């Protein structure tokens, strides 16, 4: 069998040092994606650094009112946490719409962000895939791509990022906390994942040796009306055909705050900055929502078999915006 070194880390420093010292090492959180990829041969790390014992398993409120989520907090626990349910229900909804109960019990916050695309060509060693084997080509572009990207894709790669959680984080202006040889730094969740460009093999802004230690949920978006909606091929345990996370604050019939992020459309959660700019300060009307979302989606470049994602994303976004404008819980 393919042997690998297993390291059980007891501190963040120990974990990052072990990771940095081995070029082909991977962190192991819940293992719900990494272990699958190892079985498929897509990942064959020489060292697996188990970080599940690190003291990063709590959700705590910081003095400035923001909430810090440890990287090893399980998806189920995060979704159920009172602070999240009360202040950031969009995150709770997004988490609960993902995967299955069993997977959510295992999957961690950091691991969820670092999960890889479920593109069938990526998962099959016998197929070309620029993400898995740079330069081998993209089998999906002219092949099976109903589930693939309509925004921000490149000649090299049309994969989508599968996370629901990350979409909510992008809409909440969350920050991803990283720790590495160069110390601590934070990256906005909306920019943590990259667009594929010429380097589809690089999913995120994380550098080798760095570890996600947590996610910061800012006080600025706490308690704002927000909601998540996802369309999928079956009622549970299916990735998003398209999804949307919306944070919307309306006062005196004027949009005071709005953040919109789409899932299932791109190589990363797609923050709809154009639409947000267009809506900010304007009326929360159905017409304004439609126009703004259409502006955002105007740059979509659907492929042969996934043009449905554009009207689907528009419908979902307009629906959630409209419901939030009418009622803060969006119900």
Partner 1 sequence: MQDTSNALGAPTERREGPDKVTGAARYAAEHTPAGCAYAWPVPAAVARGEITAIDDSAALALPGVIDVLSHLNAPRLVEPDDATLAVLQDARVPHRGWYVALVVAETLEAAREGAAAVRVDYAVEPHDVTLRADHADAYVPEDTDGTSGEHVRGDADGAFDSAPVRVDAVYRVPPLHNHPMEPHAATARWHDGRLTVYDSSQGATTVRDVLAGMFALPKERITVVSEHVGGGFGSKGTPRPHVVLASMAARVTGRPVKLSLPRRELAAVVGHRSPTVQRVRLGAEKDGTLISVVHEVTSQTSRIKEFVETAAAATRVMYGSPHGRTTHRVVPLDVPSPSWMRAPGEAPGMYALESAMDELAVHLDIDPVELRLRNDTAREPDSSKPFSSRHLAECLREGARRFGWSERDPRTRSRAEGPVLVGSGVASATYPVLASPSRASAHAYPDGSYAVRVNATDIGTGARTVLAQVAADALGVPVERVRVAIGSSDLPDAPLAGGSSGTASWGWAVHEACTRLAKRLSEQQGQQLPPEGVGATADTAGTADAESEYARHAFGAHFAEVGVDTVSGEVRVRRLLGVYAAGHILNARTARSQFIGAMTMGLGMALTESSTMDAAFGDFAERDLAAYHVPVHADVPAIEAHWIDEDDPHLNPMGSKGIGEIGIVGTAAAIGNALRHATGVRLRELPLTPDRVLAGLARGM
Q: What are the residues facing 251 on neighbouring strands?
A: 254
Of 12 and 159, nearer to partner 1 (C-beta) is 159
* Tokens (6 digits) for 53: 């014992």
CB of 198 to partner 1, least distance (A): 23
CB of 230 to partner 1, least distance (A): 8
Q: What element of type H or E holds 109? A: helix 109-114
Of 44 and 207, nearer to partner 1 (C-beta) is 44
CB of 235 to partner 1, least distance (A): 4
Of 117 and 175, nearer to partner 1 (C-beta) is 117
Which of these, 250, 246, 298, 292, lies nearest to 269 by C-alpha position? Answer: 246
CB 153 within 8 A of CB 140: no
Residues 290/157/19/105 CA torsion (nearest 10 deg)? 50
Of 121 and 192, nearer to partner 1 (C-beta) is 121
CB of 157 to partner 1, least distance (A): 17
Taken as a whole, the chain contains a residue count of 331
* Tokens (6 digits) for 225: 């009306």
What ranges in 150-304 are assigned the alpha helix state H? 165-171, 189-192, 273-279, 286-297
CB of 39 to partner 1, least distance (A): 9
> Tokens 């934070």 — which residue?
186
CB of 237 to partner 1, least distance (A): 5
Q: How far is CA 197 from CA 283, 307, 330, in A?
A: 36, 21, 36
CB of 294 to partner 1, least distance (A): 15
Say how many CA atoms lie within 13 Å of 243 toward its Cβ.
32
What is the SS3 assignment for 111? helix
What is the SS3 assignment for 247? strand
Residues that bind partner 1 in the complex, under the rule CB under 8 A: 1-2, 41, 100, 118, 120, 124-127, 139, 142-144, 146, 229, 231-238, 241, 306, 308, 311-312, 315-316, 319
Question: Hey, which bits of the chain come out as E strands?
Answer: 5-8, 25-28, 47-50, 59-61, 67-70, 175-180, 183-188, 211-217, 226-231, 242-251, 254-263, 270-271
Of 19 and 141, nearer to partner 1 (C-beta) is 141
What's the rounded Cα separation, in Å, for the pair 180 and 211? 6
Of 93 and 213, nearer to partner 1 (C-beta) is 93
Of 123 and 219, nearer to partner 1 (C-beta) is 123
CB of 105 to partner 1, least distance (A): 16
Of 45 and 209, nearer to partner 1 (C-beta) is 45
């Amino acid at each position: 069998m393919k042997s690998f070194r297993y390291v059980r880390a007891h501190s963040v420093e120990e974990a990052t040092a072990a990771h940095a010292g081995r070029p082909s090492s991977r962190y192991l959180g819940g293992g719900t994606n990494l272990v699958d990829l190892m079985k498929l041969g897509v990942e064959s790390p020489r060292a697996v650094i188990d970080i599940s014992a690190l003291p990063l398993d709590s959700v705590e409120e910081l003095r400035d009112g923001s909430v810090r989520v440890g990287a090893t907090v399980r998806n189920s626990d995060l979704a159920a946490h009172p602070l999240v349910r009360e202040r950031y229900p969009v995150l709770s909804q997004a988490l609960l719409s993902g995967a299955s109960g069993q997977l959510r019990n295992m999957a961690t916050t950091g691991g969820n962000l670092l999960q890889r695309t479920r593109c069938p060509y990526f998962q099959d060693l016998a197929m070309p895939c620029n993400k898995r084997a740079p330069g081998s080509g993209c089998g999906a572009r002219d092949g099976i791509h109903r589930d693939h990207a309509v925004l921000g894709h490149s000649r090299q790669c049309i994969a989508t990022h599968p996370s629901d959680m990350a979409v909510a984080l992008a809409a909440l202006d969350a920050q991803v906390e990283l720790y590495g040889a160069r110390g601590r730094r934070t990256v906005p969740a909306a920019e943590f994942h990259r667009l594929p460009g010429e380097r589809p093999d690089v999913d995120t802004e994380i550098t080798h040796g760095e570890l996600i230690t947590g996610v910061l949920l800012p006080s600025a978006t706490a308690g704002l009306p927000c909601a998540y909606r996802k369309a999928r091929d079956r009622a549970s345990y299916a990735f998003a055909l398209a999804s949307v996370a919306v944070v919307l604050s309306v006062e005196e019939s004027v949009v005071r705050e709005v953040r919109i992020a789409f899932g299932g459309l791109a190589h990363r959660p797609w923050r709809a900055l154009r639409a947000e700019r267009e809506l900010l300060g304007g009326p929360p009307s159905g017409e304004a929502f439609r126009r703004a979302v259409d502006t955002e989606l105007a740059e979509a470049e659907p492929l042969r078999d996934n043009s449905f994602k554009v009207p689907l994303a528009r419908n979902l976004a307009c629906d959630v915006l409209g419901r939030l404008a009418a009622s803060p819980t969006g119900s």
